[in-house]
Amino acid sequence: MKKKYTTVLTIAGSDGSGGAGIQADLKTFAALECYGLSVITALTAQNTRGINAIYPVSEAFLIEQFRAIASDIPIDAIKIGMLGSASIIKTVALLLKELQGTPPIILDTIFASSGGTPLLSEEAIQLMKKELFPLATLITPNIPETARLLEMKEAPSTPECIEEAAMKLLENRASSVLVKGGHGVDNNCCDCLLYDNHFFWFSSKKIATHNTHGTGCTLSSAIAAFMARGEKMECAVEKAKAYLNGALQAGAAYRLGSGNGPLHHQYRQWEEGLK
Residue 60: the pLDDT is 98
Q: Which residues of 147-179 are buried (b: 16+ CB within 10 A; e: fewer)?
A: bbbbeeeebbeeeebbbebbebbeeeebbbbbb
Structural contact between residues 232 and 188, judged by C-beta atoms closer than 8 angstroms: no
pTM for the model? 0.96
Structural contact between residues 32 and 222, judged by C-beta atoms closer than 8 angstroms: yes
Domains defined along the chain, listed by start: 7-274 (3.40.1190.20)
Rounded Cα gap, residues 219 and 55, in angstroms: 25
| Sheet of 138-139, strands arranged across | 35-40, 7-12, 77-80, 105-107, 138-139, 177-179, 188-195, 198-205
Helices and strands of the chain, counted as H and E runs: 9, 10
Phi, psi torsion values for 83, nearest 5 degrees: -110, -40
Q: 131: which residues sit within 8 A by CB, 6+ positions away?
A: 89, 90, 93
The total of other beta-carbon atoms located within 10 Å of residue 5's CB is 15
| Largest distance between two CA atoms of the chain | 58
The total of other beta-carbon atoms located within 10 Å of residue 41's CB is 28
What is the torsional sign of CA 103, 106, 111, 112? negative
Structural contact between residues 214 and 21, judged by C-beta atoms closer than 8 angstroms: yes
Partnered with residue 40 across adjacent β-strands are 12
Residue 117: the pLDDT is 80
Query: What is the rounded (10 degree) CA torsion for 249, 255, 256, 261?
Result: 40
Amino acid at 270: W
Q: What is the DSSP letter of 160?
A: H
Structural contact between residues 103 and 77, judged by C-beta atoms closer than 8 angstroms: yes
Separation in Å, CA 140 to CA 3, 75, 167, 213: 32, 21, 14, 17
Could you list the pLDDT tens digit for every one of the 275 residues in the chain? 788 999 999 999 999 999 999 999 999 999 999 999 999 999 999 999 999 999 999 999 999 999 999 999 999 999 999 999 999 999 999 999 999 889 999 999 998 887 778 889 999 999 999 999 999 999 999 999 999 999 998 888 899 999 999 999 999 899 999 999 876 567 788 999 999 999 999 998 889 999 999 999 999 999 999 999 999 999 999 999 999 999 999 999 999 999 999 999 999 887 766 55
Phi, psi torsion values for 244, nearest 5 degrees: -60, -45
Residue 115: the pLDDT is 72
Residue numbers annotated as active site:
180, 212, 214-217
